[in-house]
Structure 1
Amino acid sequence: MSDYRYFQSRAILAPTLESVEKVNDFVLTIFPWMEKEYLSSDTTCQADENEDVKQEWFTSEFLNDIKCSGLLNHKLTLKPGVAVMLLRNIDQTSGLCNGTRLIVNKLGSNVIGVTVVTGRNIGDKVYIPRMNLIPSDSGLPFKF
């Protein structure tokens, strides 16, 4: 599966977040390379509209266990060779948009090297930096 063209016309659809986790865990076992874990921030920002909400109400353990659509999991495990989907518009002129599929090449502390496999920039090698992701409407009474 080192040929990125294999992934251009393929996708795995899963009906629930639990199914997605199981598929992701299984796919990671297929690739022999060393995995790298990326962890999210586990603090909150005071939401302007909810001044009554106290940050101390939300422990790190609570924040790390939140799993809902539109909000990334606390732990992201990657290996070189795995397919991923970009969940944010980074550079639309370069084709790095929400939904762009990528193959992981290199794993750094704060950057991931990838190859673009969909869109008009197929085959381009780019780096995706670590960045903040603040959900616009998560339904939660606070912002991360």
Structure 2
Amino acid sequence: MIVTHISTRVLRCRIISGDAKFAGSIVLIPRINMDVSEEDLPIPLRRRQFPVRLAFAMTINKSQGQSVKHVGLDLQSGVFSHGQLYVALSWCTSGDHIKVILDPENTSRKTANIVHQEILNGLQM
């Protein structure tokens, strides 16, 4: 979900992942009251806030089909499934905006793209 507009009472957001029938939909998220009434407090507390949590990361599988301006990949342990590296690299709109973290002991500055040849050999071309 990406926040597209912030007002004092409502966030307007666009859904970018999850169930395909909701992808691209605009949703409104209102501020809600959070009441705290613990026995050790002399007065009850009430906070008014948006029920959202900031996220800076997305799994490679969750990102499939997305287009983003900047991508950071943590490849210190490499990818673990067929085609994941291709998917991760292909959702950035510009190669200049891709940043990759590799294992510091990896002096070759390379990582493996896992390709299962048995999948490709079964394709009719």
Answer 1 or 2: which has greater helix percent.
1
Answer 1 or 2: which has greater strand percent.
2
Q: Same fold (TM over 0.5)?
A: no
Higher relative contact order (CA 8 A, sep 6+): 1
TM range (shorter): under 0.3
TM-score after normalising by structure 1: 0.23
